[in-house]
A and B are shown apart, each in its own frame.
Chain A
Amino acid sequence: GAGVSQSPSNKVTEKGKDVELRCDPISGHTALYWYRQRLGQGLEFLIYFQGNSAPDKSGLPSDRFSAERTGESVSTLTIQRTQQEDSAVYLCASSIFQGSPQHFGDGTRLSIL
């Protein structure tokens, strides 16, 4: 597709389970970003990829959160041992290169029961 694609669009899981969220960026975009948006809040930066490397992981809230990117394309965000406070919309964005306008996907709405 032409835009950033995220899957699943919705995920409901029990506390303590692991979840994996997927992001397909726009083809040719070298930079990829993950954000978290809690209800009533702005976007919180999680991690940034340039190519397949992640020079900045400073936004990851805890060691339960990890992310990888392969083939300078698809990225997955993994949350282990989910907690209720992890409930949020997780948004992915990509840009042609670092600093250029970011294009967002529609997000994955994660609900932890």
Chain B
Amino acid sequence: TQLLEQSPQFLSIQEGENLTVYCNSSSVFSSLQWYRQEPGEGPVLLVTVVTGGEVKKLKRLTFQFGDARKDSSLHITAAQPGDTGLYLCAGGGSNYKLTFGKGTLLTVNP
């Protein structure tokens, strides 16, 4: 069974601070996706990384896929209250099935 561990589980920071959340596994994934989910809504895809060592930037968000394709990180620079939400990582295999982590619940206080 493939498992994805996300850390920290909870993170509360002040507006303007930087943060990094992690997604780790003992399994290799062909792709790694990051989603953000707000209360009462479904997850929204932020990015997909597919190549070991790949780094993608989305405005203040930087996503990295580990060289061995077993782990990933999400770094947010100068966090804003609008970044508040549940951040989920999901690993993709050779088929359609995604394995989700339990998420990091981020709160950015004004």
Contact = CB atoms under 8 A, between A and B. Distances in A.
Given A40-B102, A42-B102, A43-B100, A99 B40 contact: no
A31 B42 contact: no
Interface centre among B42, B98, B100, B102 (most CB of A within 10 A): B42
Interface stretch (A61-69, A72-80, A102-110): A102-110
Interface in A81-113: 91, 93, 95, 98-99, 101-107
A56 interface: yes
Given A101-B33, A101-B48, A43 B43 contact: yes
B88 A43 contact: yes
Interface in A16-56: 31, 33, 35, 40-45, 48, 56
A92 to B, nearest CB: 8
Query: Is chain A's binding surface mostly helix, strand, loop or mixed?
Result: strand
Contact of A104 (B43, B97, B101, B102): B43
Interface residues of A, number: 24
B78 interface: no
Nearest to B105: A40
A43 B87 CA distance: 12
Interface of B: 4, 6, 33, 35, 40-45, 48, 88, 90, 92, 95-103
Closest 7 CB pairs of A and B: A104-B42, A42-B100, A43-B100, A42-B102, A98-B96, A106-B42, A106-B41
